[in-house]
Amino acid sequence: MLRNRLIFSLIYSDGAFTQSRNFRLQKVGDINWLERNYKFQKISFSLDELIVLNATKIDKDIVEFSKAVSRLVDDVFIPVAAGGGINSILDADLLFRSGADKVVLNSCIYSNPQVVKDIVSKYGSQSIVACVDYKVIDGKPKIFVNDGSKALDVDLEAYLIDIQHLEVGEIILNSIDRDGTGFGFDIGVINKYSGLVDVPLIIMGGAGNGQHLKDGLKIEGVSAVATANLFNFIGNGLPNARQSLLEAGMNLARWKSD
Protein backbone atom coordinates (compact mmCIF):
# COMPACT_ATOMS: atom_id res chain seq x y z
CA MET A 1 0.00 0.00 0.00
CA LEU A 2 1.38 3.40 -1.00
CA ARG A 3 2.13 5.81 1.82
CA ASN A 4 0.19 9.04 2.09
CA ARG A 5 2.33 12.13 1.62
CA LEU A 6 2.49 15.64 3.04
CA ILE A 7 3.91 18.04 0.46
CA PHE A 8 4.93 21.68 0.69
CA SER A 9 4.93 23.86 -2.40
CA LEU A 10 7.01 26.97 -2.96
CA ILE A 11 5.81 29.52 -5.51
CA TYR A 12 8.61 31.31 -7.36
CA SER A 13 8.14 34.43 -9.49
CA ASP A 14 10.67 36.85 -11.01
CA GLY A 15 13.51 35.80 -8.72
CA ALA A 16 11.47 35.80 -5.49
CA PHE A 17 9.24 33.47 -3.54
CA THR A 18 5.65 34.54 -3.12
CA GLN A 19 2.34 34.04 -1.45
CA SER A 20 -0.45 33.23 -3.89
CA ARG A 21 -4.15 33.85 -3.48
CA ASN A 22 -6.37 32.85 -6.39
CA PHE A 23 -3.16 32.98 -8.49
CA ARG A 24 -2.53 36.62 -7.58
CA LEU A 25 1.03 36.80 -6.30
CA GLN A 26 2.59 38.82 -3.49
CA LYS A 27 6.36 38.83 -3.06
CA VAL A 28 7.63 37.47 0.24
CA GLY A 29 11.41 37.28 -0.24
CA ASP A 30 14.26 35.94 -2.34
CA ILE A 31 16.04 32.64 -1.77
CA ASN A 32 18.38 34.20 0.80
CA TRP A 33 15.36 35.33 2.81
CA LEU A 34 13.80 31.90 2.43
CA GLU A 35 16.91 30.12 3.69
CA ARG A 36 17.26 32.50 6.67
CA ASN A 37 13.64 32.25 7.75
CA TYR A 38 12.53 28.74 6.90
CA LYS A 39 15.54 26.47 7.43
CA PHE A 40 14.30 23.86 4.96
CA GLN A 41 16.87 21.35 6.12
CA LYS A 42 14.96 21.22 9.43
CA ILE A 43 11.47 21.63 8.00
CA SER A 44 12.04 18.79 5.53
CA PHE A 45 11.82 16.31 8.41
CA SER A 46 8.11 17.15 8.56
CA LEU A 47 7.58 16.67 4.81
CA ASP A 48 7.59 13.86 2.29
CA GLU A 49 8.24 16.02 -0.77
CA LEU A 50 8.82 19.59 -1.86
CA ILE A 51 7.31 21.13 -5.01
CA VAL A 52 8.78 24.30 -6.50
CA LEU A 53 6.66 26.08 -9.11
CA ASN A 54 7.74 28.90 -11.41
CA ALA A 55 4.71 31.19 -11.62
CA THR A 56 6.49 34.09 -13.34
CA LYS A 57 3.83 35.65 -15.57
CA ILE A 58 5.78 37.04 -18.52
CA ASP A 59 9.26 35.58 -19.00
CA LYS A 60 9.81 32.27 -17.22
CA ASP A 61 13.60 32.33 -17.30
CA ILE A 62 14.17 28.62 -16.73
CA VAL A 63 17.93 29.09 -16.30
CA GLU A 64 17.44 31.46 -13.34
CA PHE A 65 14.69 29.24 -11.95
CA SER A 66 16.98 26.22 -12.17
CA LYS A 67 19.57 28.06 -10.05
CA ALA A 68 16.97 28.55 -7.31
CA VAL A 69 16.04 24.87 -7.53
CA SER A 70 19.69 23.88 -7.23
CA ARG A 71 20.12 25.92 -4.03
CA LEU A 72 16.96 24.48 -2.49
CA VAL A 73 18.01 20.92 -3.28
CA ASP A 74 21.24 21.43 -1.35
CA ASP A 75 19.23 22.00 1.84
CA VAL A 76 16.83 19.04 1.76
CA PHE A 77 16.97 15.25 1.60
CA ILE A 78 13.38 14.74 0.43
CA PRO A 79 12.35 14.43 -3.24
CA VAL A 80 11.91 17.74 -5.05
CA ALA A 81 9.59 18.31 -8.01
CA ALA A 82 10.04 21.47 -10.07
CA GLY A 83 8.07 22.98 -12.91
CA GLY A 84 6.50 25.96 -14.57
CA GLY A 85 7.48 26.98 -18.08
CA ILE A 86 8.72 23.58 -19.25
CA ASN A 87 8.21 23.59 -23.00
CA SER A 88 10.79 21.07 -24.22
CA ILE A 89 12.87 18.08 -23.22
CA LEU A 90 15.81 20.50 -22.86
CA ASP A 91 13.95 22.45 -20.18
CA ALA A 92 13.31 19.22 -18.31
CA ASP A 93 16.97 18.19 -18.73
CA LEU A 94 18.07 21.44 -17.09
CA LEU A 95 15.85 20.97 -14.04
CA PHE A 96 16.94 17.36 -13.60
CA ARG A 97 20.59 18.44 -13.80
CA SER A 98 19.80 21.07 -11.16
CA GLY A 99 18.72 18.35 -8.75
CA ALA A 100 15.00 17.97 -9.33
CA ASP A 101 13.73 14.41 -8.90
CA LYS A 102 10.56 15.10 -10.91
CA VAL A 103 9.24 17.76 -13.25
CA VAL A 104 5.81 19.35 -13.02
CA LEU A 105 4.04 19.90 -16.34
CA ASN A 106 0.93 21.97 -16.91
CA SER A 107 0.28 24.06 -20.03
CA CYS A 108 2.38 21.92 -22.36
CA ILE A 109 0.20 18.89 -21.58
CA TYR A 110 -2.49 20.58 -23.63
CA SER A 111 -0.43 22.65 -26.08
CA ASN A 112 2.34 20.16 -26.85
CA PRO A 113 1.74 16.66 -25.46
CA GLN A 114 4.76 15.40 -27.42
CA VAL A 115 6.94 17.03 -24.75
CA VAL A 116 5.32 14.77 -22.16
CA LYS A 117 5.99 11.72 -24.31
CA ASP A 118 9.62 12.77 -24.83
CA ILE A 119 10.21 13.14 -21.08
CA VAL A 120 8.51 9.82 -20.34
CA SER A 121 10.66 8.13 -22.98
CA LYS A 122 13.90 9.54 -21.54
CA TYR A 123 13.23 9.60 -17.79
CA GLY A 124 10.21 7.35 -17.17
CA SER A 125 6.65 7.98 -16.03
CA GLN A 126 7.67 8.36 -12.39
CA SER A 127 9.55 11.54 -13.30
CA ILE A 128 6.44 13.48 -14.36
CA VAL A 129 3.80 15.22 -12.26
CA ALA A 130 0.90 16.61 -14.30
CA CYS A 131 -0.73 19.69 -12.77
CA VAL A 132 -4.36 20.56 -13.52
CA ASP A 133 -5.53 24.02 -12.41
CA TYR A 134 -9.27 24.66 -12.37
CA LYS A 135 -11.98 27.11 -11.32
CA VAL A 136 -15.62 26.31 -10.72
CA ILE A 137 -17.73 28.41 -13.10
CA ASP A 138 -21.52 28.07 -13.16
CA GLY A 139 -21.22 25.00 -10.97
CA LYS A 140 -18.78 23.19 -13.26
CA PRO A 141 -14.98 22.92 -12.98
CA LYS A 142 -13.20 24.63 -15.87
CA ILE A 143 -9.53 23.97 -16.65
CA PHE A 144 -7.11 26.87 -16.94
CA VAL A 145 -3.55 26.98 -18.29
CA ASN A 146 -0.87 29.68 -18.71
CA ASP A 147 -0.83 30.53 -15.00
CA GLY A 148 -4.60 30.63 -14.83
CA SER A 149 -4.99 33.14 -17.67
CA LYS A 150 -6.45 30.89 -20.37
CA ALA A 151 -9.53 28.70 -20.05
CA LEU A 152 -9.75 25.45 -21.98
CA ASP A 153 -12.92 24.23 -23.60
CA VAL A 154 -12.28 20.72 -22.33
CA ASP A 155 -14.27 18.61 -19.88
CA LEU A 156 -12.31 17.88 -16.69
CA GLU A 157 -13.23 14.19 -16.71
CA ALA A 158 -12.04 13.74 -20.30
CA TYR A 159 -8.88 15.75 -19.59
CA LEU A 160 -7.90 13.61 -16.61
CA ILE A 161 -8.38 10.46 -18.68
CA ASP A 162 -6.30 11.91 -21.54
CA ILE A 163 -3.51 12.86 -19.14
CA GLN A 164 -3.30 9.31 -17.85
CA HIS A 165 -2.98 8.05 -21.42
CA LEU A 166 0.22 10.12 -21.61
CA GLU A 167 1.59 7.84 -18.87
CA VAL A 168 2.38 10.53 -16.30
CA GLY A 169 3.42 9.34 -12.84
CA GLU A 170 0.96 11.39 -10.79
CA ILE A 171 -1.52 14.25 -11.03
CA ILE A 172 -2.01 17.45 -9.02
CA LEU A 173 -5.59 18.73 -8.90
CA ASN A 174 -5.33 22.39 -7.90
CA SER A 175 -8.25 24.69 -7.12
CA ILE A 176 -7.65 28.29 -8.21
CA ASP A 177 -10.73 29.37 -6.24
CA ARG A 178 -9.29 27.95 -3.01
CA ASP A 179 -5.65 28.85 -3.68
CA GLY A 180 -4.16 30.71 -0.71
CA THR A 181 -7.48 31.15 1.07
CA GLY A 182 -6.88 28.72 3.94
CA PHE A 183 -10.56 27.74 3.70
CA GLY A 184 -9.88 24.05 3.07
CA PHE A 185 -9.75 21.88 -0.02
CA ASP A 186 -12.49 21.81 -2.65
CA ILE A 187 -13.92 18.60 -1.23
CA GLY A 188 -16.92 18.44 -3.59
CA VAL A 189 -14.87 18.48 -6.79
CA ILE A 190 -12.20 16.19 -5.35
CA ASN A 191 -14.80 13.63 -4.28
CA LYS A 192 -16.37 13.71 -7.73
CA TYR A 193 -13.18 13.27 -9.77
CA SER A 194 -10.70 11.41 -7.56
CA GLY A 195 -12.14 8.05 -8.59
CA LEU A 196 -11.20 8.73 -12.22
CA VAL A 197 -7.50 8.92 -11.46
CA ASP A 198 -5.54 5.65 -11.56
CA VAL A 199 -2.18 7.26 -10.72
CA PRO A 200 -1.42 8.90 -7.36
CA LEU A 201 -3.50 12.06 -6.90
CA ILE A 202 -2.16 15.13 -5.12
CA ILE A 203 -4.70 17.76 -4.07
CA MET A 204 -3.78 21.41 -3.67
CA GLY A 205 -5.49 24.73 -3.04
CA GLY A 206 -7.01 25.82 0.27
CA ALA A 207 -5.18 23.98 3.04
CA GLY A 208 -4.72 26.31 6.00
CA ASN A 209 -4.42 23.98 8.99
CA GLY A 210 -3.85 20.38 9.99
CA GLN A 211 -7.54 19.52 9.92
CA HIS A 212 -7.76 20.51 6.26
CA LEU A 213 -4.86 18.19 5.45
CA LYS A 214 -6.55 15.40 7.38
CA ASP A 215 -9.87 15.95 5.56
CA GLY A 216 -8.06 15.75 2.22
CA LEU A 217 -6.29 12.49 2.98
CA LYS A 218 -9.55 10.89 4.08
CA ILE A 219 -10.91 11.16 0.53
CA GLU A 220 -10.72 7.87 -1.32
CA GLY A 221 -8.23 8.06 -4.16
CA VAL A 222 -6.19 10.93 -2.68
CA SER A 223 -2.54 9.99 -2.24
CA ALA A 224 -1.07 13.30 -1.06
CA VAL A 225 -2.02 16.73 0.22
CA ALA A 226 -0.06 19.85 -0.65
CA THR A 227 -0.01 23.35 0.78
CA ALA A 228 1.76 26.49 -0.39
CA ASN A 229 0.69 28.55 2.60
CA LEU A 230 3.96 29.83 4.09
CA PHE A 231 2.45 31.76 6.97
CA ASN A 232 -0.22 29.34 8.15
CA PHE A 233 2.48 26.70 8.60
CA ILE A 234 5.28 28.89 9.99
CA GLY A 235 7.20 27.82 13.11
CA ASN A 236 5.98 24.46 14.35
CA GLY A 237 3.02 24.41 11.96
CA LEU A 238 4.33 21.65 9.71
CA PRO A 239 5.68 19.35 12.48
CA ASN A 240 2.40 19.75 14.37
CA ALA A 241 0.35 19.08 11.23
CA ARG A 242 2.33 15.92 10.50
CA GLN A 243 1.96 14.69 14.06
CA SER A 244 -1.80 15.25 13.96
CA LEU A 245 -2.02 13.25 10.73
CA LEU A 246 -0.06 10.38 12.27
CA GLU A 247 -2.25 10.44 15.38
CA ALA A 248 -5.32 10.31 13.15
CA GLY A 249 -4.03 7.08 11.61
CA MET A 250 -2.97 8.46 8.25
CA ASN A 251 -0.52 6.18 6.44
CA LEU A 252 2.43 8.59 6.50
CA ALA A 253 6.04 7.53 6.78
CA ARG A 254 7.43 7.88 10.29
CA TRP A 255 10.76 9.64 10.50
CA LYS A 256 13.02 9.42 13.54
CA SER A 257 11.93 12.91 14.52
CA ASP A 258 8.31 11.69 14.64
pLDDT in tens, 117-142: 999 999 999 999 999 999 999 999 99
Classify residue 36: in a domain, yes or no. yes
Give me the pLDDT at residue 48, please. 93
Smallest Cα–Cα separation from 97: which of 123, 129, 59? 123
Residue 2 pLDDT grade (very low, low, confident, very high; cuts 50, 70, 90): confident
Alpha helices in the chain (DSSP H): 31-38, 40-43, 62-75, 89-97, 107-111, 113-123, 156-165, 187-193, 210-217, 237-247
Smallest Cα–Cα separation from 172: which of 194, 202, 212, 135? 202
Predicted confidence (pLDDT) at residue 39 exceeds the cutoff of 80: no
C-alpha span between 55 and 46 (Å, rounded): 25
Whether 72 and 31 have beta carbons less than 8 Å apart is answered as: yes
Classify residue 189: in a domain, yes or no. yes
Active site residues: 133
Classify residue 200: in a domain, yes or no. yes
Give me the pLDDT at residue 258, please. 46
- What's the predicted TM-score (pTM) here? 0.95
Q: Any residues with CB less than 8 A from the CB of 2 and at least 6 apart, and which? A: 200, 223, 251
Classify residue 253: in a domain, yes or no. no
Classify residue 257: in a domain, yes or no. no
Give me the pLDDT at residue 46, please. 86
Classify residue 55: in a domain, yes or no. yes
Q: What is the CATH number of the domain that holds 127?
A: 3.20.20.70
Give me the pLDDT at residue 139, please. 94
Count of Cβ atoms closer than 10 Å to residue 88 Cβ: 15
Give me the pLDDT at residue 245, please. 92
Tens digits of per-residue pLDDT, 84-114? 999 999 999 999 999 999 999 999 999 999 9
Number of domains in the chain: 1
Tens digits of per-residue pLDDT, 44-97? 788 999 999 999 998 999 999 999 999 988 878 899 999 999 999 999 999 999
The β-bridge partners of 46 are none
Classify residue 178: in a domain, yes or no. yes
Tens digits of per-residue pLDDT, 213-239? 999 999 999 999 999 886 666 667 888
Range of the domain at 115: 7-247
Higher pLDDT, 229 or 202: 202
Q: For the residues 233-249, what does the mean pLDDT come to?
A: 84
Classify residue 258: in a domain, yes or no. no
Higher pLDDT, 202 or 243: 202
Q: For the residues 188-212, what does the mean pLDDT come to?
A: 95
Give me the pLDDT at residue 45, please. 80
Residue 144 pLDDT grade (very low, low, confident, very high; cuts 50, 70, 90): very high
- Burial of 112: CB neighbours in 10 Å, binned 0-12, 13-18, 19+: middle
